[in-house]
Amino acid sequence: MVDLEPMKRILITGVNGLIGRSCVEKFLGSDASILGIDNDARATFFGEDASTSFARTLGGEDAQSFTIKKLDITNRLEIEKLLSDFRPDLVIHTAAQPSHDKAAQIPYLDFETNAVGTLNLLESLRKFNLDGVFVHLSTNKVYGDSPNLLPIKELDSRFDFNDAHFGIGIGEYHAIDSSLHSLFGVSKLSADVLVQEYGRYFGMKTCVLRAGCLTGANHKGVELHGFLSWLVKCNLSESNYSIFGYKGKQVRDNLHAKDVAEFIYQFTLNPGFASIYNLGGGYENSISVIEAIDLVTQISGIKMKTTYIDSPRKGDHIVYYSDLSKIKRDFPDWKVSMNLHEIVSDLVGNEN
């Protein structure tokens, strides 16, 4: 059981998704009433294969304190009514349109979900519980492609930074201007700054988590979103996996969903105002596409089928991993608990 005084009412958006589900599992048993909202927008964005509407059972007496409601965060009036009635002490906002590429195909839906939906939640929390805590899952795409302007070197199986960022990663004060973001990056940056501003302007306890690649056994990865999950699915089904540009040497850091939920819990114990953290696996959990293919093949024992497409995704990062020095300094009890081998093994075991 976790101690969450005085968090008696917790609202989790996107509750059926990867991070939402992990947060439910983390906070069950905390004596709090947990209300989750979800409208399975992932199926709208990516098709039925990405749906999170499959049955999710929670056993034991703890599950009695958890309820789910179908609700769209872009519906301002329904969000206002929900927060007026429930008056949450903690909002964990994980609902989003999460794809860098998909956003260009659905620009209105992307912005309404990511930016307007976040505004609806923030303003309703301000109106009905100004003392409530708001934790927002942002993205490293708020930095646009500016990390690509840093000195980069090519190694045998990856690209990496060739300056002081090597082995450390991108910090919270990295530039967000004068770069290509994708429409997804813009909508998430809009939400990111809104969450900060409600903290600074209104004095609310808010937190922005600029995430790298998050994954875990509950991930419903698709080609347009969910790097490691999609790679594992392609491998186990012996389907083709497409590598987009950079010789497959582009690098990402990866973090298991349970470590995200653990940080959110740690933050609730000592919440700040307009807090910003880069949240990922860091250098130790960074991996290139071709390194990931080798690791998945090693664990599954199945040879990977790949196609190389010379054109990289527009605005894609060549190298990105999170500088975790700030988050570890402010929350020394938090750590990355699962390494890459354990993460991939978890994914492979879930798909088998």
Is pTM beyond 0.85 here? yes
Are the C-beta atoms of 213 and 255 separated by less than 8 Å?
yes
What's the start-to-end Cα distance of the chain, in Å? 31
Beta-carbon contacts of 289 under 8 Å, excluding residues fewer than 6 positions away, are 231, 243, 248, 249, 250
Rounded average pLDDT over 112-121: 98
CATH 3.40.50.720 fits 9-145+166-218+254-285+321-339, yes or no: yes
Minimum mean pLDDT range among 50-59, 81-90, 192-201, 209-218: 50-59
Q: What are phi and psi of 200, to 5 degrees?
A: -75, -45
**Does residue 121 have a pLDDT over 60?**
yes
**Does residue 54 have a pLDDT over 60?**
no
Where exactly are the structural domains of the chain? 9-145+166-218+254-285+321-339
**Does residue 345 have a pLDDT over 90?**
yes
Beta-carbon contacts of 329 under 8 Å, excluding residues fewer than 6 positions away, are none
**Does residue 184 have a pLDDT over 50?**
yes
Q: Is the peptide bond before 6 cis (omega within 30 degrees of 0)?
A: yes
